[in-house]
Chains A and B, each alone.
Chain A
Amino acid sequence: MTERIKNRFEALKKEGRSGLITFTTAGDPDFETSLEILKSLPKAGADLIELGIPFSDPIADGKAIQEASQRALKAGMNVKRVLDMVSIFRENDKETPIILMGYYNPVYKYGVDAFAKDAAKAGVDGLIIVDVPPEEADELLIPLKKNNLDMIFLATQTTDDERLPKVLKNAGGFIYYVSIAGITGAASASEDAIKTAVKRLRKYTKLPIAVDFDIKTPKQVKAVANLADAIVVGSAIVKIIEDSKELSKQEIVGKVLEFVKTLAIDKK
């Protein structure tokens, strides 16, 4: 049910702060560890959770997330198990919105109707499919709507004023603004650039705006936390998992949570 995303943004508004959205790849480095991380994220300060569906050929991602996908696939992750992971998470958390993010082919192979139905049942709230732009989105939007799931669209620096209305036409949940030029893990955009971008988007939509500009440090979070309705931290978290290969499951979970806690956004 899509109410979770809406409710969470309303609650954030009441608290007078922006939300923290964390990204991890489901099954990275393995199912158990990934599930433990997922379960503890809300307590550590994640307001919304983005969970990546691993894919063999993630063309919009940089090295960190490519390798996270590879680790997850090698450990036996697949679409069905991603949904299983969400179901287990939902047993104890009915509030934190979960957005699945991935590429179209695994979802297409699963079958879009079956996927929408099973995802809704598992407790997923929204879907970001990186390689489905508005031009091709109808075939996904119809089954998602039928199952009360939000389709979240990306807007970028190169999405000009002429194109923005097209992107926003069927957008649900929130707008995912990618402020880096290029792939995930690339150079960060400046504060001013983000301010301008959010202002531009605001002219076209009432939906909450989440900004992904590849934040790496808590200092960066503090600097931009109030520029948008939510900020996304992805590669930096994934990198911690990558760097913890030698550690035990508990140690990896601990390290990730410790980092997320430093990112948690306080009231203004």
Chain B
Amino acid sequence: MTNSINYNSFPDKKGHFGIYGGFFVAETLMPLILKVADAYEKATKDPSFQEEIDYYFKHYVGRPSPLYFAKRLTEKCGGAKIYLKREDLNHTGAHKINNSIGQILLAKRMGKKRIIAETGAGQHGVAVATVCALFDMQCVIFMGAVDIERQKPNVFRMKLLGAEVRPSKSGSATLKDAINDAMRDWVANVDDTYYMFGTAAGPHPFPMMVRDFHTVIGREVKQQIIEQENKLPDVLVACVGGGSNAIGLFRPFLNNKEIKMIGVEAAGKGLETGLHSAPLNDGSAGILHGSRTYIMQDDDGQIKNAHSISAGLNYPGIGAEHSWLKDIERAEYVAVKDDEALKTFSEVTRLEGILPALESCHAVSHAMKIAKNMTSDKIIVVNLSGRGDKDVDTVAKFMGVDL
């Protein structure tokens, strides 16, 4: 069944991936969203738009990011070869900058002067504040009060870059509430403001557009793995919060139907405890933040608070394309717990001399689990989506170390 699908033809014109995606926003936002969709469509038809993106990717972000064979990690697992796609080496330390570069160039084309964005771990916020400094735009970042508390270094980085950081105090005071507040701000400031959504979720065209800006990850991997191994990988693994780094890696391989893809959600304290951020493993279809997708909800359709040690995965929804890929069984979605991710943090640090973001640790952890049951001629590519410097406080706290 899935063999007959051409994945390049999704989403459709109205932003649907199967039953998922779409435009579930208030009429007050609808004309704005349509303008963004229209501007993006026009930009993709203009070759100079991609040229500009490529220029900044190469000279500012430092792309291509390396595809690194993690020899000691591979030896420890004793099975499939593990490659790490080093998105942590991008300028600002995560994959998020790919999207910010793309969207700021679009905002500039649209003549916008003020940029707003939400952030969870602060990685997207830093990436947005960075491009706003670079392109001289006013920048307001919405961030949950709880996240501000646990990601202080990133909050300070944003301020240094000239951004205003506004705490969201409603609800769980985390990422979902920051999105709520950013959307409210956008509706109130329609004329001059561009909302730079940070993940491949939300209303159309964001799931498509954010994905497109991140497909550079998968495209590079395709070329790099051929250069190093002269064949394509067998399995791709990436963590999923909103799902942007994962879809960026997966997308260029979706039509290579023999390649397996695994998205790793945050199981938090365990799926059975309900304290997790795993809508694809323990959620159901619903409507949140402008799109139909898997969400964490109670019997009355109220959104549940997500939990994860990594702020970047702490979201009760997921990008619509992942919901679709799950239902049609093109990708598999598993979940890794807080303590497993922390263990992997230490292992990767000691074995490879790389501090991975706690988000990315979820992906590496699962890759290590499956590598040992695979033969040594098989290849796993894991997206190391960000660096872990921002997480040292959290890790120290867990280890009982007072910094």
Residues in chain A within 8 A of chain B (CB atoms): 55-60, 62, 66, 73, 78-79, 103-110, 130-133, 135-136, 153-156, 158-160, 163, 167, 178, 181-183, 186
B300 close to A131 (CB less than 8 A): no
The answer to whether residues A62 and B184 also contact, given A56-B303, A105-B287, A108-B301 and a CB cut-off of 8 A, is yes
Is B30 touching A135 in the complex (CB atoms < 8 A)?
yes
B31 touches which of A73, A105, A163 (Cβ 8 Å): A163
The prevalent SS among residues of A at the interface is loop
Between-chain CB contacts (< 8 Å), 6 pairs: A59-B179, A59-B183, A60-B26, A66-B170, A163-B30, A167-B27
CB < 8 Å: which of B14, B30, B180, B189 contacts A59? B180
On whether the beta carbons of A136 and B26 are closer than 8 Å, the reply is no
Decide if B27 touches A105 in the complex (CB within 8 Å): no
Instruction: For B286, give its contact among A62, A109, A158 (CB under 8 Å).
Output: A109
| Shortest distance between the CB of A211 and any CB in chain B (Å) | 14
Inter-subunit contact B190/A105 (CB<8 Å): no
Whole-angstrom distance between the alpha carbons of A186 and B188 in the complex?
8
Q: Which residues of A contact B24 (CB under 8 A)?
A: 104, 131-133, 136
Q: Chain B: how many interface residues by the 8 Å CB criterion?
A: 36
Q: In the complex, which residue of chain B has the Cβ closest to the Cβ of A77?
A: B300
Nearest Cβ in chain A — how far from B12, in angstroms?
12
Residues of B close to A135: CB separation below 8 A: 14, 22-23, 30
6 closest cross-chain pairs (CB), A and B: A109-B301, A182-B188, A106-B301, A78-B300, A154-B27, A158-B31
Beta-carbon contact of A106 and B190 below 8 Å:
no
Query: B176 near A: Cβ within 8 Å?
Result: yes
Q: How far, in whole Å, are A79 and B22 apart by their CA atoms in the complex?
A: 24
> What residues of chain B have their CB less than 8 Å away from a CB belonging to chain A?
14, 22-32, 170-171, 176-177, 179-180, 183-184, 187-190, 286-290, 295, 297, 299-303
Given A66-B170, A109-B299, A181-B187: A57 in contact with B176 (beta carbons within 8 A): yes
Point out the residues of chain A lying under 8 angstroms from B295, CB to CB.
Answer: 105
Q: Is the CB of A156 within 8 A of B28?
A: yes
Question: Contact: B301 with A182, CB < 8 Å?
Answer: no
Among candidates B180, B190, B303, residue contacting A158 with C-beta atoms closer than 8 Å: B190
Asked whether, in the complex, the Cβ of A57 is within 8 Å of the Cβ of B171, the reply is yes
CB of B189, distance to nearest CB on chain A (Å): 8
- Bound form: Cα–Cα A167–B190 in Å: 19
Q: Contacts of A57 on B, CB cut-off 8 Å?
A: 171, 176-177, 180, 288-289, 303
Report whether A108 and B31 are in contact in the complex, using a CB–CB cutoff of 8 Å.
no
> Taking CB as reference atom, which chain B residue is nearest A61?
B184
> Are A109 and B297 closer than 8 Å at their CB atoms?
yes
Bound Cα distance from A107 to B289, whole angstroms: 15
Assess A178 versus B28: contact at CB under 8 Å? Given A66-B170, A104-B287, A109-B300. yes
CA distance in complex: A45, B265 (Å) = 52
Q: How far is the CB of B290 from chain A (nearest CB, A)?
A: 7
Please give, as numbers and ranges, the residues of chain B lying within 8 Å of A186 by CB-CB distance: 188
Report the bound CA distance from A106 to B299 in whole Å: 9
Inter-chain contact B184/A108, CB cutoff 8 Å: no
Complex contact B28–A154 (CB within 8 A): yes
Q: How far, in angstroms, from A103 to B29 measured CA to CA in the complex?
A: 14
**Residues of B with C-beta under 8 A to A163:** 30-31
Task: Give the docked Cα–Cα distance between A57 and B289 (Å).
Answer: 9
CB distance from A43 to the nearest CB of B (A): 31
Q: B27: which A residues are within 8 A, CB to CB?
A: 133, 153-156, 159, 167, 178
B14: chain A residues at CB < 8 Å are: 135
Instruction: Give Cα A254–Cα B302 distance, bound, in whole angstroms.
Output: 31
The docked-state distance in angstroms from the alpha carbon of A198 to that of B315 is 41
